[in-house]
Amino acid sequence: MKDFILKYLFRINPNTPGQPLLKSFNQLFPDATNIEWSKEKDHHFEVIFRINGIEQIALFEKSGKWLRTETNYKIEMLDLSIREKLETFGQIMSSIFIEKFDSSGSYEFIIRDHFQVRHIFITDSEGNVTERRNFDEGELL
């Protein structure tokens, strides 16, 4: 009901980011292009954008506090030592670098083994595996 009143009586869309959030985003990502905002069920705001042609997804609180950024890395963007560690498990299909406000970076990889089974690997910023699960079933291995 509150969203209805804001949207139709006061012409305020509660699903668009406010000025504090936009200011924070613009300070963190001044070179962003192709910007698309959405409000998540948990009332956080997600923004999909590109910097230098690379897709990124950032998550913010409505106050403008940055929570996380996921960057879709091209395989050739990965450090060689990380690639070598992960390629022992199979072919790297995709890689995402994850930065959080309260921790160091990590990666999420989808790797296809020699049986053509896809797995999700979570690693630290050095490529050391911290979690592994079957992609299709979500089970930990």
CA neighbor of 125 nearest in space, from 98, 106, 101? 106
Residues 65 and 78 in one domain: no
Residues 22 and 61 in one domain: yes
What average pLDDT does the segment 47-71 reach? 95
- Point out the domain boundary residue: 71, 90, 117: 71
pLDDT for 12 beyond 80: no
Return the pLDDT at 14: 61
User: Residue 6: inside a domain, yes or no?
Assistant: no
Q: Identify whether the C-beta of residue 62 lies closer than 8 Å to the C-beta of residue 43.
A: yes
Return the pLDDT at 99: 94
Please give the single-letter amino acid code of residue 66.
W
pLDDT for 10 beyond 60: no
Summarised one tens digit per residue, pLDDT across range 60-94 is 999 999 999 999 999 999 999 999 999 999 999 99
Query: In this structure, what CATH number is given to the domain that contains residue 54?
Result: 3.10.450.360
Q: Identify whether the C-beta of residue 107 lies closer than 8 Å to the C-beta of residue 130.
A: no
User: Residue 11: inside a domain, yes or no?
Assistant: no
User: Residue 133: inside a domain, yes or no?
Assistant: yes
CA neighbor of 108 nearest in space, from 94, 119, 122? 122
Q: Identify whether the C-beta of residue 45 lies closer than 8 Å to the C-beta of residue 62.
A: yes
User: Residue 5: inside a domain, yes or no?
Assistant: no
Residues 52 and 99 in one domain: no
Summarised one tens digit per residue, pLDDT across range 89-113 is 999 999 999 999 887 799 999 999 9
User: Residue 101: inside a domain, yes or no?
Assistant: yes
pLDDT for 19 beyond 60: yes
User: Residue 9: inside a domain, yes or no?
Assistant: no
Return the pLDDT at 104: 77
Say what percent of the chain tops pLDDT 70. 86
What distance separates the 2 farthest-apart alpha carbons in the chain?
59
Residue 65: which residues within 8 A CB-CB, separation 6 or more? Answer: 24, 101
pLDDT for 9 beyond 90: no
Residues 96 and 134 in one domain: yes
Residues 44 and 56 in one domain: yes
**Mean of pLDDT over the chain:** 88
Domain count, the chain: 2
Pull the structure tokens for residue 15: 């699903």
- Point out the domain boundary residue: 51, 71, 91: 71
Q: Look up the domain containing 94 and give its range.
A: 74-141
pLDDT for 23 beyond 50: yes
Euclidean distance between CA atoms 38 and 129, whole angstroms: 32
